[in-house]
């Protein structure tokens, strides 16, 4: 994994075998990010996806072991327990070009992995919400 810091964007390239969330989190730690948005695309040969089932307050999980195009990664960086944390969702496509998607626990790059982080200047912390069963963003400034 290599990355380059530009004004307003951090460009990141992952190599075959690199894990996505783990790598993006390493950048966030090294650059001391406290908020930000993440986009990406590439090709993977492993991922574990989740769907959040509200009634059980837990994730239905599934591992995908074939080759897929990583059609889109959408995610963000916040602080969880004081450390940079990546929350990302992905869309993947198989050899028939059928798309699947979900919450990304993590996935492994097979060919290219091209990502960008758009860092924020504010601090967004996550706090566990009892009613939802997830650690949600704490933002207090404005209500619309």
Q: Can you tell me which of 46, 79, 80, 91 binds a second copy, judged by CB under 8 A?
A: 91
Q: Of residues 19, 84, 86, 88, which one binds a second copy by CB under 8 A?
A: 88
- Indicate whether 76 belongs to the interface with a second copy (CB under 8 A): yes
The least CB distance from residue 47 to a second copy, in Å, is 10
Q: Token digits for 55?
A: 């009634």
Residue 79 interacting with a second copy (CB under 8 A): no
End-to-end CA distance of the chain: 40
Question: What is the C-alpha to C-alpha distance for residues 134 and 127, in angstroms, rounded to an integer?
Answer: 8
Choice between 62 and 81, CB closer to a second copy: 62
Residue 56 near a second copy by CB under 8 A:
no
- Strands 68-80 and 83-93, by their bridges, are antiparallel
Query: Scanning residues 95 to 134, which ones bind a second copy (CB under 8 A)?
Result: 95, 97-103, 110-112, 114, 116, 118, 120-122, 124, 131-134
| Structure token pair of residue 123 | 């601090």
Specify burial of residue 140 (Cβ count, 10 A radius: 0-12, 13-18, 19+): exposed
Q: Which is nearer to a second copy, 82 or 96 (CB)?
A: 96
Q: Which residue among 21, 86, 90, 107 contacts a second copy (CB under 8 A)?
A: 90
The answer to whether residue 21 forms part of the interface with a second copy (CB under 8 A) is: no
The CB density around residue 79, as the number of other CB atoms within 10 Å, is 17
């Amino acid at each position: 994994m290599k990355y380059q810091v530009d004004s307003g964007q951090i460009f990141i390239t992952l190599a075959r075998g690199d894990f996505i969330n783990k790598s993006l989190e390493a950048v966030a730690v090294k650059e001391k990010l406290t908020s930000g948005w993440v986009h990406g695309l590439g090709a993977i040969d492993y991922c574990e996806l989740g769907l959040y089932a509200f009634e059980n307050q837990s994730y239905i999980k599934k591992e995908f072991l074939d080759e897929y195009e990583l059609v889109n990664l959408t995610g963000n960086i916040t602080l969880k327990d004081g450390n940079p944390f990546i929350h990302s969702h992905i869309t993947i496509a198989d050899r028939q070009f059928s798309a699947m998607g979900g919450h990304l626990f993590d996935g492994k790059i097979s060919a290219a992995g091209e990502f960008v982080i758009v860092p924020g200047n504010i601090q967004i912390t996550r706090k566990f919400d009892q009613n939802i069963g997830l650690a949600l963003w704490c933002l207090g400034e404005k209500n619309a």
